[in-house]
Amino acid sequence: MLAWVKKKGSKVEIIINSESLETRVAVLEGGKVEEFLVEHPTEDRIVGSIFKGRIQNLEHDLQAAFVDIGMKKNAFLHYWDMIPDEDAFKEITGSSNKRRRTSRRKRYTNEEIDKHFPPGSEIVVQVTKGAIGNKGPRVSANLSIPGRHLVMMPGSKLKGVSKKINDGKERERLKKIVSQLQIPEKVGIIIRTAGSGARKKSFAADLRGLVAIWDELKAAIAEKKGPCCLYEEPGLVERIVRDWLTEDVDKIIVDSEEQYNVIRNIAARISRRARSRIQIYKGDLPIFSHYNVDKQVEAAFRRRVMLPSGGHIVIDETEALIAIDVNSGRHKGAGSQEQAILEVNTQAVEEVARQLRIRNIGGLVVIDLIDMRMRKHQNAIYRIMKAALKRDRARVNVLQISELGIMEMTRQRVEESILSSMVVDCPYCHGRGTVKSSLSMSVDIQRQIAALMRRRTSNGKSLDLEVIIHPTVLSRMQKEDEQFLIDLESTYEGHLTFKSDPHKHMEYFMIKDAQTGDALYSVTEK
């Protein structure tokens, strides 16, 4: 998680709503929600945690191992992530080499993997991606333990500075500090973005804390048998203070006395000024209502999100792809049509970048922009999107706008989206978002009635049927399909009786033998 960097002149507040079953955090910039995080204390959060696991099986075709880490589903481990490798961290410091990273994937042969990691052997791994849908968590043997200013990487020799620190003089100062720190052998250190401007003694204190964690971790690795958890990432509130409480944050406001004291104690280790920025909320309204967070979050999670110009974006989320459609809507620009389109697309890509953060959605993202004829406008929108994505703590990659007016990008998926953690599929439509119309239901029912009557008539017997359906479908059949039902009765010399049940699903229906009460056909699995 990256420290928040505010826009010039804006006010940044972090609002924390702490309850027994849920903790919510909103980052407000100028009163507008820019980040939204949710954690449920009763549920395990495993991303960032370190486990001693046991190799269950090796899949050479997938170039991956499945590791038992004590969870319901085995973790997925790529062969090239099974042995700590310095190249895995190069990207963080800006010294990555694509050719070297590509070759790293081919370094270990199947025979070498079989030799060093036979099924049943133990391995220490860190969760890099939580379980999403039917997929288990993803893990890596490249360990990293974050502090406030530093990230410690056991098994690496890398010493560097985050590439997100752009100032040349500051980078040189920080590199000098790194070279002077007393870093243990076989341990790498990277200065985080939050370390920019910090003094040497702050880095030394942070390093002492990380070394203490690593010493405990080494002892646990030696003593404990897998599968077991060796190190657990702290809770959401502690991570917020560790990663977000910088000079750019004006205040942190929390509605829990207990969490207020926890945050004050953590902030006191940073500085007196940091501690003074922690406030407790004691108002009558819920804290998210008082700061207008609830309404903003509710609006942000709608399928259609309005833009200031009158245009809107429509967001559809699938398992691995996010489709976003940009529409001009009721926009009425004062300038030319091209300028109006440019204005809507500008607002759209800025809102898309914000929505990806708030909803925590990712995978492949496809944005259908309003067509722009001028190449300079397309390039301008691309630059605006790149700038907006700099605030994203997830890894993102965006491509130039295609000839079809499509912008494609990928966003790292570490955990399930916020929406997925808050909702379940509708028990009526099972996530489809639609149900059959009354016309379609009437056609299905008449088709089954005809099939049953035809079968009985072929045996020389007439059939009396009782049909149980939803009231909406019954209303349709009484008003518009009555003649068709009369014709069915006449053709097959049977008799039909209909009953409605308002408590059933609209797609539910059951056909019974009116004389015996036996069910002859039913659609109940809804």
Q: Is residue 343 part of a domain?
A: yes
Q: Is residue 132 part of a domain?
A: yes
CATH number at residue 95: 2.40.50.140
Q: Are residues 317 and 180 in the same domain?
A: no
What pLDDT sits at residue 7? 62
Cis peptide before 227 (omega within 30 of 0): yes
Q: Are residues 188 and 57 in the same domain?
A: yes
Q: Are residues 339 and 392 in the same domain?
A: yes
Q: Which of 405, 400, 403 is nearest to 341 (CA)?
A: 405
| Contacting residues for 454 by C-beta, under 8 A, at least 6 apart | 492
Residue 104: domain span: 50-232
* pLDDT tens by residue, 503-526: 888 888 999 988 888 888 888 654
* pLDDT tens by residue, 339-394: 889 999 999 999 999 999 998 888 899 999 999 989 999 999 999 999 999 888 88
Q: Is residue 433 part of a domain?
A: no
What pLDDT sits at residue 201? 86
Q: Are residues 80 and 32 in the same domain?
A: no
Q: Are residues 450 and 487 in the same domain?
A: yes
Q: Are residues 310 and 455 in the same domain?
A: no
End-of-domain residue from the set 366, 394, 422: 422
Task: Label the pairing between strands 50-59 and 64-68.
Answer: antiparallel
Evaluated on CA atoms 213, 219, 221, 223, the torsion sign reads negative
Average pLDDT over every residue of 447-453? 88
181 and 204 Cβ atoms separated by less than 8 Å: yes
Tokens coding 210: 């990380």
pTM of the complete model: 0.76
Which has more pLDDT, 429 or 377? 377
Q: Are residues 70 and 146 in the same domain?
A: yes
Instruction: Please provide residue 65's backbone torsions phi and psi, each rounded to the nearest 5 degrees.
Output: -115, 155
306 and 316 Cβ atoms separated by less than 8 Å: no
Q: Are residues 284 and 310 in the same domain?
A: no
Task: Label the pairing between strands 406-411 and 509-513.
Answer: unpaired
188 and 156 Cβ atoms separated by less than 8 Å: yes
d(CA 5, CA 270): 18
Coil, helix or strand at residue 324: strand
Give the total number of structural domains in the chain: 4
What pLDDT sits at residue 390? 86
Query: Which helix (DSSP H) or strand (DSSP E) does residue 508 occupy?
Result: none
What pLDDT sits at residue 102? 41
Q: Is residue 166 part of a domain?
A: yes
d(CA 486, CA 405): 55
370 and 337 Cβ atoms separated by less than 8 Å: no
Coil, helix or strand at residue 143: coil
* Banded model confidence at residue 2, pLDDT cuts 50, 70, 90: very low
Evaluated on CA atoms 83, 89, 70, 134, the torsion sign reads negative
36 and 418 Cβ atoms separated by less than 8 Å: yes
Which has more pLDDT, 348 or 458? 348
* pLDDT tens by residue, 96-142: 444 444 444 446 788 888 888 999 999 999 999 888 777 889 999 99
Match 């849908």 to its residue by tokens: 133
Instruction: Please provide residue 81's backbone torsions phi and psi, each rounded to the nearest 5 degrees.
Output: -105, 10
523 and 445 Cβ atoms separated by less than 8 Å: no
Q: What is the dihedral of CA 238, 244, 246, 250, to 10 degrees?
A: -100
Q: Over the Cα atoms of the chain, what is R_g?
A: 30
What pLDDT sits at residue 87? 55
